[in-house]
Amino acid sequence: MTINVDAAGMRRINLSTVLSVIRGKRTTSRIDISQITGLNKATVSYLVDELIQEQLVQEIGYGSSSGGRKPVLLKFNANAAYAIGVDIQITHMTTVVSNTRGEVVYRQTKQLAAHEQAALYQEKLVEMILVEVAAAMKATPPSPHGLAGIGVALPGIVNFAVGTVYYLPNINVANWDLQSVLSQHFKVPVFIDNDANCGAWCEFQHRNLRVQNLVHINAGVGIGVGVIVNGQLYRGKDGLAGEFGHMTIAAIGLECSCGNYGCWEEYASERSLLRYIRESGGKKPQAASGWSVVEQILYEAQHDNRAYIRAFHTLGEYLGVGIANILNGLNPEQVTIGGMLSRAATFILPEIERVLQHRAILLNKSTPLMIANANAVAIGAAELVIDQTLFSYPKQGNAIDT
């Protein structure tokens, strides 16, 4: 395959390659980078100097040597820039400010009021995003590259490339150009994406899992799935990939908010948990201030409320059915589970693992499962901003000597 790249393009590719080597290691040196990338030492030195000037890389003293001059150690400057990430769920929204390594320096969670009409919901949501982002901006520390932008994650079908919300199934919002609406209010770039994609990206980038293929399940009011294939988010032709929440697991099943029947999220989401409580004769949980319904159910289950424990077990079983389907289809190296329902890990994880032993095939039975970072979606939304701005160099496999 022949690729036509001009000198400036080559410089950018090489800069990206060198920066990603430095970013991926605690410390490194010019000679190590030369060996890893195959670039000659003079080219590496020139590129590293440029990255030091841009304050993306720092020199932090000398390393050890088995003979000859001690190498100068290089470290990625994690605080070179910050980004704001907003995780919007049906019942609440979380806003974080994080640095380029996903380290959170500010976090705020606010409850969201329910609005019957989609138009009212959209208006109130935009108002709230503006208020919360303004507070996050005030809390953003000064840095060489400043605030890189704002990432907003939503629980629905979102096209990242064009910044449009196609459909939020649980609140019936459709064809909403949220990126344009928000961009009018901010001087920095705004990106929007699906919540599970953001969660997957956070887990992939910041958990040090050393895997290239990962599936992230975001289980809450609905279920979203983010898929990392060969180190990249898999978005599909129209950017809509990962809607496993709406895969059919019962051919003649319950009607879903998407209009179909028997979707996975009708059996493994928060509303199904409430149904299982009802079906096993449990009392409907009462709303308490500052606590979500799932947190209340979890508290009671931990205090031996048998109906609630049974409901969590049934939920775990159905989560297992869907996860087995995904494992059998994608064969990932790692599954991470996030969203509000992941807080009930002690009740649901053993059930998921039990079901996988029956329904996953071959080596998929032993795919490791892990509970995600509690703020994975918000951090991932911020991380996408960092990747789209600060690290938006062309991605390619091999460095090119100039």
Q: Which residues bind Zn ion (CB under 5 A)?
A: 246, 256, 258, 260, 263
Q: How far is the CB of 172 from Zn ion (least distance, A)?
A: 13
Q: How far is the CB of 248 from Zn ion (least distance, A)?
A: 8
CB atoms within 10 A of CB 53: 9
Q: How far is the CB of 310 from Zn ion (least distance, A)?
A: 25
Q: How would you class 76 by CB atoms within 10 Å of its CB: exposed for 0-12, middle for 13-18, buried for 19 or more?
A: buried
Give the side-chain half-sphere CA count within 13 A for 354.
11
Nearer to Zn ion, 13 or 217 (CB): 217
Nearer to Zn ion, 149 or 224 (CB): 224
How far is Cα 339 from Cα 368, in angstroms, rounded to an integer?
Answer: 18
Q: How far is the CB of 342 from Zn ion (least distance, A)?
A: 21
Instruction: List for the chain the helix, strand, coil content (%; round to 5).
Output: 40, 20, 35
Nearer to Zn ion, 98 or 269 (CB): 269
Grouping H, G, I as helix, E, B as strand and the rest as coil, residue 44 is helix
Residue 269: both structure tokens together:
């989401």
Q: How far is the CB of 48 from Zn ion (least distance, A)?
A: 51
Nearer to Zn ion, 20 or 248 (CB): 248
Q: How far is the CB of 30 from Zn ion (least distance, A)?
A: 53
Nearer to Zn ion, 180 or 260 (CB): 260
Q: How far is the CB of 262 from Zn ion (least distance, A)?
A: 8
Nearer to Zn ion, 76 or 244 (CB): 244
Q: How far is the CB of 226 from Zn ion (least distance, A)?
A: 18
Give the side-chain half-sphere CA count within 13 A for 360.
23
Nearer to Zn ion, 263 or 355 (CB): 263
Using CA atoms, how far residue 384 sits from 18, 325, 387, 391, in Å, is 20, 28, 5, 10
Nearer to Zn ion, 11 or 246 (CB): 246
Contacts made by residues 38-46, CB under 8 angstroms, sequence distance 24+? 38/398, 38/399, 38/401, 39/14, 39/399, 39/401, 40/401, 43/14, 43/401, 43/402, 44/18
As a three-state string, the secondary structure of 129-158 is HHHHHHHHHHCCCCCCCCEEEEEEEECCEE
* Nearest residue to 33 via CA among 76, 83, 4: 76
